Amino acid sequence: MSELLGIRGLRTTFPTRHGLVRAVDGVDLDVRPGECLGVVGESGSGKSVTFLSVLGLVRPPGRVEAEAITFLGRNLLSLAPTEIRAIRGRDIAVTMQDALTALNPAFTVETQIVETIEAHEPGIAKGEARARAIEMLRLVGIPDAERRLAAYPHQFSGGMRQRVMVAIALACRPKLLIADEPTTALDVTIQSQVLDLIDDMRSELGMSVVLITHDLGIVAERCDRVAVMYAGQVVETGPTAEVVASPIHPYTQGLLRSMPSLAHLDAPLVPIDGTVPDPTRLSDGCRFLPRCPHAVEACARPIALHAVSPDRAARCVLVEVAQ
C-alpha cells in the first residue's frame, strides 16, 4: 500500500430545512507519502468537508459514511474517539483558512502551542514544551519568538498569525498537513511567503501536504498532483503538470480557461456559464451537465471516476466513450 491516506466512497450529508445537503458524495482520494496534493474547487464543492470528515470533525447533525478511510493502514472509521483524537494534531494536522478566527482570542500563543504538545506527549516537562514552542515559532520565521510567545493572536499581523497557526499545526511533526485555503485571507505579497513556508516545512519534516484551494494557479505552482472537485465529487485527478497541460474533464478545462495567464495577458478570460447546482437537488448523473458544452444524453446517468492512465482519472462520459 503506497498511500499515506486513502479515502474510499466518502459521503457526508447535512440535513437542512430545505432537504438533505450532499456536501461530499462518493469521494475517492489518495495522499501519498511526501507529496503535495492540491484539492481545487469552488466554495461549497466539498473540499474542506472531505478532510473534516476524515478527521471526524464534522459536527452533528452532519453524517459521515465511507467504505474506508485508511491512514497508515489503519481504518479511521473503526477507531474509538480517543484513538482518532490521538491522530489529530499528531499525525494529521490542520491549518484553517483564517488564523484570526482559528486561533482562540482568549489565550496566548504559548498556551495554544504548548497545549497541543502536551495533548500528544502527556508528562512532558513544562519547560521543554515551552522550548519546543519557541523552536516552532522560530522555524516558521517569527522574529523575537521568545517574547512573542506571550502575545495574543490579535497582536500579530495577518501573515504572522498564519505562521503562528502553521507553527501550532506542525508542533508535533505530523505526517500529513491539511492546509485549508492557507492564503485566501492574506494579501497577495504574503501569500507566497506562507506557501513557501509550507513547502519548506514539507521538505524539512518529510510530511505530505493537502493544499485545499480554489486557486488553480497555486496548485499548478506548488502541487505534485491535483484533485478537482465539483459539487461534492472528484471530477478529475492526476499529476498537476499533466492535468494543467491537457485537462480531460470539461469543468477542469473551463477552470483553466477562466484563469488569467501572465504569458497571454491579452487572451480573453472565458467564464464557465451557469451556476453551481443546488446542493439539495443534485442529480444522479453528471453534476456539470447543465453547464457542460459537450453534454450528451448519456451524461444524465450516474458516471463513475474512470482511470485514463495509471495516474489519471476523470468522471466524464467522454472518457467512457474513448475507452
Partner 1 sequence: MSPLRLAERLLQLIPVLLGISVIVFAMMALTPGDPVQIMLGDSLADQAQRDSLRRDMGLDLPVVERFFRFLGNALTGNFGLSFFHRRPVMDVILERLPATIELTLVAMLIAIAVAVPLGVIAAVKRNSLLDRIATVGSMLGVSMPGFWFGILLILLFAVNLHILPVSGRIGFGYEVKMATGFVLIDTLMAGRLDSFLDALRHMLLPAVTLGLAMSALLMRVTRTSMLEALSQDYVTFAEAKGLSRLRVVGRHALKNALIPTVTVAAIETGSLLGGNMIIETVFGWPGLGRLVVEAIFSRNYPLVQAAVLIYATTYVLLNFLADLLYTVLNPKVRL
| Residues forming the site for partner 1 (CB under 8 A) | 52, 55, 57, 81, 85-90, 93-94, 96, 98, 101-108, 115-116, 119-120, 152, 154, 165, 168-169, 172
| Shortest Å distance, C-beta 263 to partner 1 | 37
Cβ-contact 32, 218 below 8 angstroms: no
Sign of CA dihedral 145, 148, 149, 154: negative
- As given in the structure block, the three cell numbers for residue 306 are 474512470
Measured in degrees and rounded to the nearest 5, phi and psi for residue 141 equal 80, 40
Choose between 175 and 312: whose C-beta lies nearer to partner 1.
175
**What region does 97 belong to: left with phi over 0, alpha with psi -120 to 50, or beta?**
alpha
Cβ-contact 10, 64 below 8 angstroms: yes
The 3-state DSSP class for residue 209 equals strand
| Shortest Å distance, C-beta 219 to partner 1 | 22
| Shortest Å distance, C-beta 70 to partner 1 | 19
Choose between 89 and 277: whose C-beta lies nearer to partner 1.
89
| Shortest Å distance, C-beta 104 to partner 1 | 4
| Shortest Å distance, C-beta 97 to partner 1 | 8
Sheet holding 306-309, edge to edge: 92-95, 176-180, 208-213, 36-40, 225-230, 233-239, 312-314, 306-309
User: What is the distance between the alpha carbons of residues 240 and 196, in angstroms, rounded to a whole number?
Assistant: 18
| Shortest Å distance, C-beta 63 to partner 1 | 16
| Shortest Å distance, C-beta 114 to partner 1 | 11
Helix (H) or strand (E) holding 222: helix 216-222
Choose between 122 and 310: whose C-beta lies nearer to partner 1.
122
- As given in the structure block, the three cell numbers for residue 277 are 447546482
| Shortest Å distance, C-beta 98 to partner 1 | 7
Choose between 167 and 308: whose C-beta lies nearer to partner 1.
167
Cβ-contact 323, 305 below 8 angstroms: no
Cβ-contact 149, 134 below 8 angstroms: yes
Choose between 168 and 256: whose C-beta lies nearer to partner 1.
168
Choose between 207 and 292: whose C-beta lies nearer to partner 1.
207
Buried b (16+ CB within 10 A) or exposed e, 151-172: bebeebeebbbbbbbbbbbbbb
Choose between 29 and 55: whose C-beta lies nearer to partner 1.
55
Choose between 21 and 248: whose C-beta lies nearer to partner 1.
21
User: What is the distance between the alpha carbons of residues 308 and 241, in angstroms, rounded to a whole number?
Assistant: 15
